[in-house]
Amino acid sequence: MPELPEVEIVRASIDRACSGRTIRSVEVVDGGVLEGCTAKELASFCRGRKIIGARRHGKQMFIELDRGGCVTVHLGMTGDLIYNAKGKRPDKHDRVLFDFKEGSQMVYRDMRKFGAIGLAASVDDFIMMKRLGPDALEVGRQEFIARIGKHDRAIKTILLDQKVIAGIGNLYADEVLFQSRIHPMRSAKGLSAKEAGAIQRNTRKVLLASVRVSSDFDRLPKGFMLPVRGLSASCPRGNGRFVSIKVNGRTTFFCPSCQKE
Ligand SMILES: [Zn+2]
Protein backbone atom coordinates (compact mmCIF):
# COMPACT_ATOMS: atom_id res chain seq x y z
CA MET A 1 0.00 0.00 0.00
CA PRO A 2 1.51 3.36 -0.98
CA GLU A 3 2.71 5.36 2.02
CA LEU A 4 4.43 8.76 2.06
CA PRO A 5 7.64 7.69 0.22
CA GLU A 6 5.76 5.89 -2.57
CA VAL A 7 3.40 8.85 -3.03
CA GLU A 8 6.36 11.25 -3.03
CA ILE A 9 8.06 9.21 -5.79
CA VAL A 10 4.88 9.33 -7.94
CA ARG A 11 4.44 13.05 -7.18
CA ALA A 12 7.99 13.90 -8.28
CA SER A 13 7.65 11.99 -11.55
CA ILE A 14 4.24 13.52 -12.39
CA ASP A 15 5.50 17.00 -11.45
CA ARG A 16 8.46 16.54 -13.81
CA ALA A 17 6.49 15.04 -16.70
CA CYS A 18 3.15 16.91 -16.58
CA SER A 19 3.82 20.46 -15.30
CA GLY A 20 3.10 23.00 -18.02
CA ARG A 21 0.84 20.66 -19.99
CA THR A 22 -2.73 21.66 -20.84
CA ILE A 23 -5.58 19.19 -20.34
CA ARG A 24 -7.69 18.87 -23.49
CA SER A 25 -10.23 16.37 -22.17
CA VAL A 26 -10.84 13.88 -19.37
CA GLU A 27 -12.20 10.40 -19.92
CA VAL A 28 -13.55 8.58 -16.87
CA VAL A 29 -13.46 4.87 -17.70
CA ASP A 30 -14.63 3.82 -14.24
CA GLY A 31 -16.52 6.33 -12.08
CA GLY A 32 -16.03 4.07 -9.04
CA VAL A 33 -12.80 5.90 -8.22
CA LEU A 34 -14.41 9.37 -8.15
CA GLU A 35 -15.04 10.88 -4.73
CA GLY A 36 -17.32 13.88 -4.27
CA CYS A 37 -17.64 14.74 -7.96
CA THR A 38 -19.20 13.30 -11.10
CA ALA A 39 -17.33 12.42 -14.29
CA LYS A 40 -18.94 15.43 -15.95
CA GLU A 41 -17.84 17.80 -13.16
CA LEU A 42 -14.26 16.49 -13.27
CA ALA A 43 -14.11 16.87 -17.05
CA SER A 44 -15.53 20.38 -17.17
CA PHE A 45 -13.33 21.50 -14.24
CA CYS A 46 -10.13 20.31 -16.00
CA ARG A 47 -10.89 21.12 -19.64
CA GLY A 48 -8.47 23.72 -21.05
CA ARG A 49 -6.60 24.10 -17.74
CA LYS A 50 -2.82 23.91 -17.46
CA ILE A 51 -1.10 21.80 -14.80
CA ILE A 52 1.17 24.01 -12.72
CA GLY A 53 2.59 21.25 -10.52
CA ALA A 54 2.01 18.21 -8.33
CA ARG A 55 2.01 18.56 -4.55
CA ARG A 56 1.75 16.12 -1.68
CA HIS A 57 0.54 16.17 1.94
CA GLY A 58 0.97 12.89 3.80
CA LYS A 59 -0.32 10.17 1.46
CA GLN A 60 -2.51 12.62 -0.45
CA MET A 61 -1.49 14.04 -3.82
CA PHE A 62 -2.73 17.19 -5.58
CA ILE A 63 -2.51 18.17 -9.23
CA GLU A 64 -2.65 21.95 -9.16
CA LEU A 65 -4.23 23.76 -12.09
CA ASP A 66 -3.77 27.31 -13.35
CA ARG A 67 -6.51 29.79 -12.36
CA GLY A 68 -6.89 27.94 -9.00
CA GLY A 69 -8.20 24.60 -7.81
CA CYS A 70 -6.74 21.12 -7.94
CA VAL A 71 -7.47 17.50 -8.70
CA THR A 72 -7.03 15.41 -5.55
CA VAL A 73 -5.51 11.95 -5.92
CA HIS A 74 -5.33 9.22 -3.29
CA LEU A 75 -3.61 6.05 -4.48
CA GLY A 76 -5.44 3.74 -2.05
CA MET A 77 -4.05 0.19 -2.13
CA THR A 78 -2.98 -0.29 -5.75
CA GLY A 79 -3.37 3.10 -7.42
CA ASP A 80 -0.75 4.76 -9.62
CA LEU A 81 -0.56 7.97 -11.62
CA ILE A 82 1.43 7.56 -14.81
CA TYR A 83 2.59 9.85 -17.59
CA ASN A 84 1.98 8.14 -20.92
CA ALA A 85 4.02 9.99 -23.55
CA LYS A 86 2.55 8.11 -26.51
CA GLY A 87 -1.12 8.61 -25.65
CA LYS A 88 -3.80 5.94 -26.10
CA ARG A 89 -2.60 2.53 -24.96
CA PRO A 90 -5.26 1.61 -22.44
CA ASP A 91 -4.58 -0.93 -19.75
CA LYS A 92 -7.62 -2.74 -18.36
CA HIS A 93 -6.98 -1.11 -14.96
CA ASP A 94 -6.93 2.46 -16.34
CA ARG A 95 -9.75 4.33 -14.56
CA VAL A 96 -9.29 7.98 -15.55
CA LEU A 97 -7.44 9.40 -18.57
CA PHE A 98 -6.37 13.06 -18.68
CA ASP A 99 -5.59 13.76 -22.33
CA PHE A 100 -3.13 16.56 -23.00
CA LYS A 101 -3.28 18.94 -25.95
CA GLU A 102 -0.21 17.50 -27.65
CA GLY A 103 -1.40 13.87 -27.54
CA SER A 104 0.23 12.46 -24.42
CA GLN A 105 -1.78 11.72 -21.28
CA MET A 106 -1.76 11.33 -17.52
CA VAL A 107 -3.39 8.05 -16.50
CA TYR A 108 -4.88 7.03 -13.18
CA ARG A 109 -4.48 3.24 -12.99
CA ASP A 110 -5.86 1.22 -10.08
CA MET A 111 -6.38 -2.51 -9.99
CA ARG A 112 -8.40 -2.80 -6.79
CA LYS A 113 -10.09 0.63 -6.92
CA PHE A 114 -9.57 1.69 -3.30
CA GLY A 115 -8.08 4.98 -4.49
CA ALA A 116 -9.95 8.23 -4.99
CA ILE A 117 -9.93 11.10 -7.48
CA GLY A 118 -11.73 14.31 -6.59
CA LEU A 119 -11.69 18.10 -6.80
CA ALA A 120 -10.78 20.78 -4.26
CA ALA A 121 -10.66 24.57 -4.25
CA SER A 122 -7.11 24.42 -2.83
CA VAL A 123 -4.64 22.12 -1.08
CA ASP A 124 -5.25 23.87 2.27
CA ASP A 125 -9.01 23.56 1.82
CA PHE A 126 -8.74 19.81 1.35
CA ILE A 127 -6.39 19.34 4.35
CA MET A 128 -8.85 21.27 6.54
CA MET A 129 -11.87 19.39 5.23
CA LYS A 130 -10.24 15.98 5.89
CA ARG A 131 -8.75 17.28 9.17
CA LEU A 132 -5.33 15.89 8.24
CA GLY A 133 -2.46 16.43 10.66
CA PRO A 134 0.80 18.05 9.53
CA ASP A 135 2.93 16.19 7.00
CA ALA A 136 5.34 13.70 8.60
CA LEU A 137 8.35 15.27 6.82
CA GLU A 138 7.32 18.89 7.44
CA VAL A 139 6.26 18.78 11.09
CA GLY A 140 8.76 20.23 13.59
CA ARG A 141 10.06 18.36 16.60
CA GLN A 142 8.07 20.31 19.24
CA GLU A 143 4.78 20.03 17.39
CA PHE A 144 5.33 16.33 16.76
CA ILE A 145 5.97 15.67 20.48
CA ALA A 146 2.94 17.77 21.52
CA ARG A 147 0.60 16.09 19.04
CA ILE A 148 1.42 12.47 19.87
CA GLY A 149 1.59 13.22 23.63
CA LYS A 150 -2.12 14.08 23.70
CA HIS A 151 -3.16 10.48 23.15
CA ASP A 152 -3.41 7.65 25.62
CA ARG A 153 -3.52 4.92 22.95
CA ALA A 154 -0.70 2.65 21.68
CA ILE A 155 2.04 4.64 19.91
CA LYS A 156 1.71 2.38 16.85
CA THR A 157 -1.97 3.33 16.54
CA ILE A 158 -1.19 7.03 16.98
CA LEU A 159 1.50 6.99 14.27
CA LEU A 160 -1.07 5.53 11.85
CA ASP A 161 -3.69 8.18 12.67
CA GLN A 162 -3.57 10.60 9.72
CA LYS A 163 -5.33 13.27 11.82
CA VAL A 164 -2.36 13.31 14.24
CA ILE A 165 0.50 13.12 11.69
CA ALA A 166 -0.12 12.54 7.98
CA GLY A 167 1.86 10.11 5.84
CA ILE A 168 2.96 7.17 8.01
CA GLY A 169 1.43 3.77 7.21
CA ASN A 170 1.74 0.30 8.68
CA LEU A 171 5.18 -0.71 7.35
CA TYR A 172 6.98 2.55 8.10
CA ALA A 173 5.42 2.80 11.58
CA ASP A 174 7.02 -0.56 12.43
CA GLU A 175 10.39 0.61 11.09
CA VAL A 176 10.22 3.95 12.95
CA LEU A 177 9.47 2.18 16.27
CA PHE A 178 12.20 -0.39 15.62
CA GLN A 179 14.74 2.38 14.92
CA SER A 180 13.57 4.17 18.08
CA ARG A 181 13.70 0.94 20.18
CA ILE A 182 10.15 1.55 21.40
CA HIS A 183 7.53 -1.17 21.92
CA PRO A 184 4.49 -0.62 19.64
CA MET A 185 2.02 -1.01 22.53
CA ARG A 186 3.56 1.73 24.72
CA SER A 187 1.09 4.51 25.48
CA ALA A 188 1.86 7.57 23.35
CA LYS A 189 1.13 9.79 26.35
CA GLY A 190 3.56 7.82 28.54
CA LEU A 191 6.59 8.42 26.30
CA SER A 192 9.30 10.77 27.57
CA ALA A 193 10.13 13.88 25.52
CA LYS A 194 13.40 12.16 24.60
CA GLU A 195 11.58 9.06 23.32
CA ALA A 196 9.01 11.10 21.39
CA GLY A 197 11.84 13.20 19.93
CA ALA A 198 13.59 10.01 18.79
CA ILE A 199 10.40 8.91 17.04
CA GLN A 200 10.20 12.25 15.19
CA ARG A 201 13.88 12.04 14.15
CA ASN A 202 13.51 8.43 13.01
CA THR A 203 10.31 9.21 11.11
CA ARG A 204 12.32 11.64 8.97
CA LYS A 205 15.26 9.26 8.71
CA VAL A 206 13.15 6.28 7.62
CA LEU A 207 10.88 8.13 5.17
CA LEU A 208 13.75 10.01 3.51
CA ALA A 209 15.86 6.84 3.26
CA SER A 210 13.01 5.12 1.46
CA VAL A 211 12.48 8.04 -0.97
CA ARG A 212 16.23 7.95 -1.76
CA VAL A 213 16.12 4.27 -2.78
CA SER A 214 12.76 4.64 -4.62
CA SER A 215 11.25 2.46 -1.87
CA ASP A 216 13.28 -0.56 -2.97
CA PHE A 217 13.66 -2.03 0.54
CA ASP A 218 16.63 -4.21 -0.42
CA ARG A 219 18.66 -1.04 -1.01
CA LEU A 220 17.91 0.47 2.42
CA PRO A 221 20.90 1.02 4.73
CA LYS A 222 22.10 -1.78 7.02
CA GLY A 223 20.20 -2.07 10.29
CA PHE A 224 16.72 -1.51 8.82
CA MET A 225 13.86 -3.87 9.57
CA LEU A 226 11.95 -3.47 6.28
CA PRO A 227 14.17 -5.65 4.04
CA VAL A 228 13.63 -8.61 6.40
CA ARG A 229 10.31 -7.70 8.10
CA GLY A 230 8.55 -11.01 8.67
CA LEU A 231 7.90 -13.70 11.21
CA SER A 232 11.02 -15.27 12.77
CA ALA A 233 13.37 -13.11 10.69
CA SER A 234 16.54 -12.23 12.58
CA CYS A 235 16.82 -8.75 14.05
CA PRO A 236 19.63 -6.92 12.18
CA ARG A 237 21.08 -6.03 15.60
CA GLY A 238 21.66 -9.76 16.08
CA ASN A 239 19.87 -10.11 19.41
CA GLY A 240 16.73 -12.05 18.56
CA ARG A 241 13.94 -12.65 16.10
CA PHE A 242 10.98 -10.50 15.12
CA VAL A 243 7.58 -11.41 16.49
CA SER A 244 4.16 -10.34 15.28
CA ILE A 245 1.17 -8.98 17.19
CA LYS A 246 -2.03 -7.18 16.19
CA VAL A 247 -2.28 -3.55 17.25
CA ASN A 248 -5.72 -2.08 16.63
CA GLY A 249 -6.22 -4.77 13.98
CA ARG A 250 -2.96 -4.04 12.13
CA THR A 251 -0.21 -6.67 11.80
CA THR A 252 2.80 -5.33 13.68
CA PHE A 253 6.36 -6.67 13.80
CA PHE A 254 8.91 -5.81 16.48
CA CYS A 255 12.02 -7.23 18.17
CA PRO A 256 11.25 -8.13 21.82
CA SER A 257 14.94 -7.67 22.78
CA CYS A 258 15.30 -4.18 21.27
CA GLN A 259 11.78 -2.95 21.98
CA LYS A 260 10.88 -3.74 25.58
CA GLU A 261 7.40 -3.10 26.93
ZN1 LIG B 1 16.70 -6.62 18.15
Q: pLDDT tens digits for 39-68?
A: 999 999 999 999 999 999 999 999 999 999
pLDDT average, residue stretch 17-44: 97
The confidence band for 115, taking pLDDT boundaries of 50, 70 and 90, is very high
Residue 254, judged by CB atoms within 10 A of its CB (0-12, 13-18, 19+), counts as buried
Catalytic residue among 59, 95, 109, 229: 59
DSSP string over 174-221:
HHHHHHHT--TTSBSTTS-HHHHHHHHHHHHHHHHHHHHTTT-GGGSP
pTM of the predicted model, to two decimals? 0.94
Q: What is the per-residue pLDDT for 227?
A: 95
Establish whether 102 is a catalytic residue: no
Q: What is the per-residue pLDDT for 9?
A: 96
The distance between the two most distant Cα atoms of the chain, rounded to a whole number of Å, is 60
pLDDT average, residue stretch 242-249: 96
Give me the domains of the chain, ranges plus CATH numbers: 4-129 (3.20.190.10), 141-254 (1.10.8.50)
Establish whether 3 is a catalytic residue: yes
Catalytic residue among 55, 130, 201, 250: 250
Distance (angstroms) between ligand 1 centre and the Cα of 18 equals 44
Count, residues in the chain: 261
Residue 154 clears pLDDT 80, i.e. is over it: yes
pLDDT average, residue stretch 108-123: 96
Residue 39 host element (H or E): helix 39-46
Q: What is the per-residue pLDDT for 69?
A: 97
